[in-house]
Chains A and B, each alone.
Chain A
Amino acid sequence: MAFPYSDKVLEHFRNPRNVGTIENPDGKSTEGSPACGDMVAVFIKVNDETKVLEDVKFESYGCASNIATGSIITEMAKGKTLSEAKKITWKQASEELGGLPPLKSHCSVLAVEGLRAAIRDYEEKHGLIEERVPTTVDVIKKRLRHVMNPLRGLDVVRTDLIKDIRFEDGVVHIVADLPADHQFAAVIKADIAEKIERLWDVKEVHIDFAG
């Protein structure tokens, strides 16, 4: 049967490894959103001495490639140091799985981003970000690309939901093109705050709705 998925993808889809959550994780992340059709949450347990990933778990709301990539990437990352695990690419995960359909790259890349974001979460919490790149509007914009616009299923930058971004004296001002009482306003606001507040030189985040 000419399935678009390799046997290994199907095997991981059927029996995903390392599924679930970790209580009190050392790092965690959520990438994607129900609106974009795929969502993945990654939880990590890190040995503070050796910086080795002692446990990696994931949860997935998504299609077969999303689930299979989450499964393989947790297997690949376990036992690696943070700096090794950070370097795992989508291409490596895809090769490990015997190839993924190019059409589904969006769904599968989320798991890779999820792992990196969970590691970044740990590093930020432990003050381990080595290069302290000063925050700029471009840095903020890059982070906002991970905030989904539930109305469109794509990120808020690509869908032109963000009207204005300013950064002055550690204070970020973001204007979103949505009425303040919109059903998704609160969700988007919380998601933006979570992604931006963690930047080392950001003190406050203000989000205004002007739709």
Chain B
Amino acid sequence: MFGDTVYLDNSAGTRLDERVLEAMRPYFFDTYAVATSEFGYSMGIEAREGLDRARGSLARRLGAQTEEFIFTSGSTESSNMALKGVALALGEKKGKHLVTSRIEDFPVLNTAAALGKQGFRVTVLEVDAEGLIDPAAVEEAIEPDTILVSIQHANQEIGTVQDIESLAGICREREVLFHTDATHAFTRLPLDVSTIPVDLVTVSGHTIHGPKGVGGLYVRTGTPLVKWMDGGFQEFDHRAGVEDIPSAVGFAAAAELVTEEETERIRGLRDRLLDRALAHIPYVTLNGHRTRRLPQNANITFHYVEGESITLHLDMRGFAVSTGSACFSRSLEASHVIMGIGGDHERAHGSVRFTLGRYNTQEDVDGVVDAITEVVRELRVISPLMPAGEKER
């Protein structure tokens, strides 16, 4: 039904790779037992081995030890686990202060806000016009009772990549735990916890052609973390509940399929999209940093037009993209990221995010630029904001 759709919303979710499905299949129909201890029955032991192999593979991708990788139901759970887990562990012992940034994704932002209502103090740092956090601001925000700093690896909307190495280094020096939400950067950008002193890392399968509903949290050995969902002793007693082995195996398979060559191909397509769009369409603003940017992300504001109208017109022409416009969201709120980089409502309303994945081709990116050039021109003709005399451009 959507065979012809050119899908450019890969940061929201991706098409599953068939090879991922094949890797998962045996754990649905053959080795379907729950993971048992090595003293259990054969099928359970084999299921356990499958889970461990997946865990080991994902841990290695981060430069971590196998037992430091905890499977979760996705980024939202991982970030909840990190922030609430540390807050529960250190709230009484060390302090009740957390530091994060204004442009974090909702799992971090709203978990921090929820802790704020439970007696924790949250410092929300500003970012610059390109979305970068000043490491000095983090240094300055740390107080004696600070227990955790949570700054994302790369931004979900504008793709800006933070200087994680400096940020983690500062936190380590000040003896404060550091969490990073790497949902959009994982496998596409290097992150090695054996060289970067980050304590907790959120990752997810849904952004890399793996299944939705599976993610992980890297937990450095010795990190104080209280379990926030009670039940059994699975996942080294960090996360209760029957393990979703097919999804864990799928997540690992998906991560293994992401190669540097592929990422470079995607970066090339993204650059082509940006170069053509910025050169051919007047009154546009690039949102985010030009180079310190996720390879799969492009985000452009088309001034004088509103994003929901753009996305609907593009949908009618077979292209799927997203926008930071208030009209597009369920909450009718403009993108907090565009507002966070100093943009106004008009800039947020006219912003369009294109995120590329494995299945996109040069034809796709050329097609979407051609289509959006036309759509924006048409919408500007009817826009009262477009300066008269410029409408036919």
On A, residues with C-beta under 8 Å from B are 10, 13-14, 16, 19-21, 30, 34-41, 59-64, 66-67, 103-104, 106-107, 150, 153
Contact = CB atoms under 8 A, between A and B. Distances in A.
B308 A34 contact: no
A30 B383 CA distance: 12
Indicate the member of A10, A21, A37 with the most B CB atoms within 10 Å: A37
Contacts of B385: 34, 39, 61
A63 B327 contact: yes
B279 interface: no
Contacts of A66: 306
Interface stretch (B282-290, B344-352, B358-366): B344-352
Given A35-B345, A104-B327, A67 B384 contact: no
A61 B309 CA distance: 9
B311 to A, nearest CB: 9
B332 A103 contact: yes
A14 B312 CA distance: 9
B interface, how many residues as a size bin? 20 to 34
Contacts of A62: 306, 309, 327
A13 B309 contact: yes
B1 to A, nearest CB: 9
Contacts of B308: 63-64
Interface string B254-286: 000000000000000000000000000000000
A32 B382 CA distance: 15
Interface string B157-183: 000000000000000000000000000
B168 to A, nearest CB: 35
Contacts of A13: 309, 312
A64 B312 contact: yes
Contacts of A60: 382-384
Interface string B298-341: 00000011101100110010000000011110101010000000
A36 B381 CA distance: 20
B269 to A, nearest CB: 28
A3 B326 CA distance: 18
A12 to B, nearest CB: 12
A33 to B, nearest CB: 8
